[in-house]
Amino acid sequence: MPIALVLGMADRVVPVAENGEVLATNYEKLGGPVKVWRKPGQGHHPHGLHPPDELAAYLLNAVATSK
C-alpha cells in the first residue's frame, strides 16, 4: 500500500526524526512505496501541498498500478 507523507520539518508535536522519517525508512526497507514531501520551517499544522498536483498524481498512479 503506497504511503504519502507531508512532513513539517519544524514539527515539535510529532518530531519528524522520530516519526515520519523512521516510518519512511522502515517502509522502504520492507519494499513499500512511499513518497515524502518535506516542508522546511513548517510545524505540525497547518500545512499541505499547494498546489496539490504532485500529491494527486502520486496517489492516482499508486491506485492505477496496484490493481
State residue 48's pLDDT score. Answer: 80
Q: What single-letter amino acid sits at 67?
A: K
DSSP state of 51: S
Give me the number of domains the chain comprises.
Answer: 1
pLDDT, tens only, 26-39: 999 999 999 999 99
CB burial string 17-45: b at 16+ within 10 A, e below: eeebbebbeebeeeeeebbbeebeebeee
Three cell numbers at 23?
516510518
pTM of the predicted model, to two decimals? 0.86
* CA gap 47, 66 in Å, rounded: 28
State residue 65's pLDDT score. Answer: 86
Domain limits at 10?
A: 3-65
